[in-house]
Every structure is written in C-alpha cells, then in structure tokens.
A and B are shown apart, each in its own frame.
Chain A
Amino acid sequence: MVHCKPASPGLMIRPAMKVIMTHPHKELEVPGPTRVHQLLQRLDLTPEAYLVIRGDELVTEDTVLRDSDSIEIRSVISGG
C-alpha cells in the first residue's frame, strides 16, 4: 500500500496525485513525481495486466507523473 506521509503540525500538507484504480475500485493518493513503471512497482502490479491513463491519455512506462495529475490505473484482465 502507498500512504502519504502524515503532515507534521505546522507544515504544509504536501499535495499528491490522485490515483483511481478501476475494477476493483480504489482511490489512492501517491506523492509525485514518479514514473509510471515505479508507480506500478510500488503497488505491486504487473505492467501486462494494467494500463495507466492520465486524464484521458494513455501513457508509457517512462512517463513522469506529477502531483497535479489525475491518474487511472485500469485493469485489463477479464474473467469471462
């Protein structure tokens, strides 16, 4: 799991990027900047089973994601 560091009193809360995981639905906040492949690694996800979408654009694994980005990690594996 990825957690933001708890903000110490008196310090500004660091912004983080919003990551939505679809199916199963989960919402996370991950501090940027981070590359797509690092993000997947941190969440222990195999790249072959997911797509990473920024806004509505597909991004490759070397793309740097920033705090202001909203990210979707979409599972592409179906069981039917």
Chain B
Amino acid sequence: MRCRKCAHPAVIKMPRHNISLCKDCFTEFVHNQVRRAIKAHRMFTAEDRILVAVSGGKDSLTLWAILLKLGYRADALYVDLGIGDYSLRSRQKVQRFTDTVAAAYASNLHVHTVEQEQGAGIRELATLVHRPTCSTCGTVKRYQFNRVAIEQDYDAMATGHNLDDEAARLLGNVLHWQTDYLDKQTPSLPASLGGFAKKVKPLYRLTEREIAAYAVIHHIDYIVEECPMAKGSKLLAYKHALNRLEADSPGTKHTFYLTFLDRQAKQQETTGQIAQRDQERLHPCTTCGQPTSTDVCSYCQMRAKAKAHV
C-alpha cells in the first residue's frame, strides 16, 4: 500500500478519511489535526503555559510529545495512585519519557503521590470514604490538577481525551439524556472561577488508533496495560459498540461527535453560558479555595473523612 500524498510505503490506512499515509505524511496529518483543534477552540497561544495531565498511557504521553514538538510550553503532572504494579510501571514510563524526550525541551514533570499525602493508595482511600474507586480517583486527579495549575500559574490544563473517548461519552450522555453533562462536553472549558486555568482537549479530532499509531511510529514508550480498575467500565462498552458501527460505516464516530460540536457552536452561547452558570453556582472552598458548589469541596470533605478513620 502506498501513501496517497507522496507514494512512499504507507504505514496506516484511515478508512474514515479514505486515505493511507506514510510515516511523514501521517505525522503531518496528526500535527494538523491538533493545530486545528487548538485554533478552532482557541485553547491556548504560544505564550501560554500548559499543564498536561499524564498517566503513562498513549494519549497523554503523545499529547505531551506533540505539544512540545509544535513549540508549546508544556509541562506535565503525574498522579501516582498507588495501585500496585500498574502505578509503578506507569510512573516509570512517565519518568522515562520526561528524561529522554521532555528534558530536551526544558519541560518539567510534577508528581503527586496519593500515598504520601493520604497515607494510603486510591483503593484504600476509596474504601475509607465509602465511594467507588474511580470516582475517588476523579476527585483526587481534578483537585491536584487544579492545585498545581494555580500554584504554578499555568494558563491551561490539557488532557489526552481523544475522539473515541468523547464519542463514547457523548453516546453515554445521550442514552441517559444527561443534558447538564452534554452542555459541558466541549473540548475547551473556560475557567470555573477567576484565577483558575481553563481545561482543554487538543486530541479530540484523533481516534485512539491514530494516536497509538503515532506513538508507535515515534517510539513513544507508553504503558499498554490498563489501570486494573477500568475493567468492565461503561465507557469501554460504548467504545466497542461505536467501533462496530465504525467498521460498517467509517466516519461514524467523527460525524457523531463533530456534528454535535457544530450544533453546539451554532447555539454559540454555550461556553459563555457555562462560564456564567459556573460563576453563579461555584465559589471558593472555605478550606482550600478551590471551586465548589458546597461550603467545603469534595476533596476536603474526603480528606476529613479519611482522617477521622485513621
């Protein structure tokens, strides 16, 4: 198979775009998709400082690599959840990427270790506060992301969410008509309170397969195994369903999510609305100052609960 653009041997066929591309042309394609995403949603500028949430997986490490290559000022945050071997290995991958790739761009890695602060890993902490592991994990990651962004004065927080993630989430939200979540499902969320950073998803135009292919081509050594807690997740079921549809009609995921975004953009107010609604609803936590709709934010509540048990 030959590259559609330059006739070199192709490394990937992308049915949704009906093209096959060689290494160089595919790399260019990926970079262009990211540039387009950043521009279309005014995510950040070349002057902005960006904090990337990295897990050691393909999406986040690839995002970090691409932002650096495109000349952005991107540092990263890794949250060590203390989930046995998985956390050990993923942390090693992140550290290795930092030393071998990011260091050359003078880019920094911040690490937060859950065990160090809470005296227990995320699973133990979740048991202590009687909540599912993944929701506890979500609270901790969001909180630490915000904390580092504000302490170190970052302008944007970037995550590696891809087209499959967003399409699967959209499917889930539509199936349950979670209209609140639908409004918030945009690749660029404004800061919820003054002083906080905005949240962006520069990989939303790329599929998981394209991102993994980029990682393989550019020798980005990521952790292929999954967090053991992800097993049986709803999101996975939606992804498999969408991929089955995609196999029959290429472009399904793309059309599903990008048309949703188009419609959202036509309603235009969305981002302004979200910002306004958030600002009416949210105020600083009385303990730590992070945005919350209650007096004390869920992270501080969780900490207090965990402490009471020790």
Q: What chain A residues lie within 8 Å of B298 (beta carbons)? A: none
Task: Tell whether, in the assembled complex, residue A80 and residue B212 are in contact, meaning their CB atoms are under 8 Å apart.
Answer: no
Q: Please tell me which stretch of B92-100, B219-227, B284-292 contacts chain A, meaning at least 4 of its Cβ atoms lie within 8 angstroms of it.
A: B219-227
Q: Does B20 contact A (CB under 8 A)?
A: yes
| Complex-state Cα separation, A46 to B15, whole angstroms | 13
* B233 contact from A47, A48, A58, A79, Cβ within 8 A: A79
In-complex Cβ contact of A46 among B59, B216, B230, B244 (8 A): B244
- Find the A residue at minimum CB distance from B9: A60
Chain A interface, number of residues (Cβ within 8 angstroms): 24
Are A79 and B231 within 8 A (Cβ)?
A: yes
Complex Cα spacing A51 to B14, Å: 12
CB distance from B224 to the nearest CB of A (A): 5
- Give the total of B residues in contact with A, Cβ under 8 Å: 36
* Interface presence of B115 (CB below 8 A): no
Contact: A23 with B235, CB < 8 Å?
no
Residue B213 at the A interface, CB < 8 A?
A: yes
Q: Does B304 contact A (CB under 8 A)?
A: no
- A12: CB under 8 A from chain B? no
Q: Which of A18-54 contact B (CB under 8 A)?
A: 22-23, 46-51, 53
With a CB–CB cut-off of 8 A, which chain A residues contact B227? 79-80
A77 at the interface (CB under 8 A from B): yes
Q: In whole angstroms, what is the CA distance A61 to B57 when docked?
A: 25
| A80 with B226, Cβ < 8 A, contacts A53-B216, A60-B13 known | yes
Whether B75 is near chain A, meaning CB under 8 Å from some CB there, is: no
B166 at the interface (CB under 8 A from A): no
Cα-based distance from A45 to B1 in the complex (angstroms): 21
Query: Taking chain A's interface residues, is the majority helix, strand, or loop, or is none over half, making it mixed?
Result: loop
Which residue from B59, B209, B244 sits with its C-beta under 8 Å from A51? B209
A76 interface residue per 8 A CB criterion? yes
Knowing A60-B10, A60-B11 are in contact, say whether A48-B246 is a contact too (CB < 8 A).
Answer: yes
A63 to B12, CA, bound (A): 11
Residues of B contacting A58 in the complex (Cβ-Cβ under 8 angstroms): 11-12, 213, 216-217
Interface residue ranges of B229-268 to A (CB < 8 Å): 230-231, 233, 235-236, 239-240, 243-244, 246-247
How many Å lie between the Cα of A51 and that of B217 in the bound state? 11
A78 and B226 form a contact (CB under 8 A): yes
Cβ of B58 within 8 Å of any chain A Cβ, yes or no, is: yes
- Interface residue ranges of A56-72 to B (CB < 8 Å): 56-63
A57 to B212 alpha-carbon distance, docked (Å): 13
B67-111: CB near A (< 8 Å → 1, else 0) gives 000000000000000000000000000000000000000000000
- Given A48-B246, A56-B219, A77-B208, output 17 extra A-B contacts at Cβ < 8 Å: A46-B243, A46-B244, A46-B247, A47-B15, A49-B209, A51-B212, A51-B216, A57-B11, A58-B213, A58-B217, A60-B13, A62-B1, A76-B58, A76-B211, A79-B233, A79-B235, A80-B235
Provide 18 A-B residue pairs closer than 8 Å at the C-beta atoms, listed in order of the A residue.
A22-B224, A23-B224, A46-B243, A49-B240, A49-B243, A53-B216, A56-B219, A58-B213, A58-B216, A60-B11, A60-B12, A60-B13, A74-B216, A77-B208, A79-B230, A80-B55, A80-B57, A80-B230
Residues of B with Cβ closer than 8 Å to A? 1, 10-13, 15, 20, 55, 57-59, 164, 207-209, 211-213, 216-217, 219, 224-227, 230-231, 233, 235-236, 239-240, 243-244, 246-247
The 6 closest A-B pairs by CB, nearest first: A79-B230, A76-B212, A79-B236, A79-B233, A60-B1, A58-B11
